Amino acid sequence: MTRTLSLGYSPCPNDTFIFYALVHGRIPLEGIQLRERLEDVETLNRLALDAVLDLTKISYHALGHLRRDYALLRSGGALGRGCGPLVVTRQAASMEALRGCTIAIPGELTTANLLLQLYGAGYENTSIMPFDRIMAAVQRGEVDAGVIIHESRFTFPSYGLVQVADLGAWWERETGHPIPLGGILARRSLGPELISRIDGAIRSSIEYAFAHPEETKGYIKRHSQELSDPVIESHIGLYVNEFSLDLGVAGQAAIEELFQRAERRGIIPSCQLPLFVD
């Protein structure tokens, strides 16, 4: 008997690269059929809060609110160095000057917003909008600044915008850890054996994509909002790395540090459950 599980991930190149082989039958997952759902990251965060999905990509900020019902997988996430969100404006400014200003963010539960709030007080006046609308909103003067993620890291100069801060670089200087952006979750109720199988299948899917990059291109481009090939390749190169294959000790330490800081600030609730189901 085949069991169907829902799987949520974003249409961004790193996610479609990671999950291509798994959802196209290149990686066997006996007895399991996956029903994929592609949504922007904040929509996925909200779906997970409503317990809609069995497996899903989420922001680590959202995971801080989901630890009771979901366990983190060791594979498939986005964590690294030099890949954090950027704060951009129309004209050169400082983070100090932006306190109290209106700042566009790609979602309340995104790690981008969590990093902004951890950076310091005075950045609570936020305007939530889809990540791909933020640069245009800043350009038009609808907001004072924007926190940009994903491929926007590579394209913001074309909007005439300037970088005020790299929140990922700030995190790395502050903690010494790589920056945890997003991870893959599984319902704890699926049980350790099935969760372990899924985790291994996602790692195999990434290895397949690295071994067959040309095969993945058509699927990636169908969902990448007409990005150019160089931007797609840069995006994958930045967000899919050794931590995507396995978080390892360094990745786990970074996540725990993020949660400890967020708990101390009262941004997320405390939780005694382990991150992983082993």
211 in a labelled binding site? no
Q: Is 232 labeled as ligand-binding?
A: no
Catalytic residue among 61, 65, 150, 235: 150
Helix (H) or strand (E) holding 35: strand 32-38
Gap between the Cα atoms of 109 and 102, Å rounded: 17
Half-sphere exposure at residue 260, Cβ-oriented, CA atoms within 13 angstroms: 7
| 223 catalytically annotated | no
d(CA 61, CA 183): 10
Of the candidates 110, 121, 118, 30, the residue with the CA atom closest to the CA atom of residue 78 = 110
State whether residue 164 is helix, strand or coil. Answer: strand
d(CA 169, CA 163): 12
Residue 155, annotated as binding a ligand: no
* 221 belongs to an annotated ligand binding site: no
- According to the 3-state scheme, what is the secondary structure of 181-208? EEEEEEEHHHCHHHHHHHHHHHHHHHHH
- 57 belongs to an annotated ligand binding site: yes
DSSP codes joined into one string, 74-140? SSS-EEESS---EEEESS---TGGGTTS-EEES-TTSHHHHHHHHH-SS---EEE--GGGHHHHHHH
Structure-token pair, residue 139: 């350009």
Which positions are catalytic? Answer: 150
Residues annotated within the binding site for substrate are: 57-59, 111-112
Annotated binding site, which residues?
Answer: 57-59, 111-112
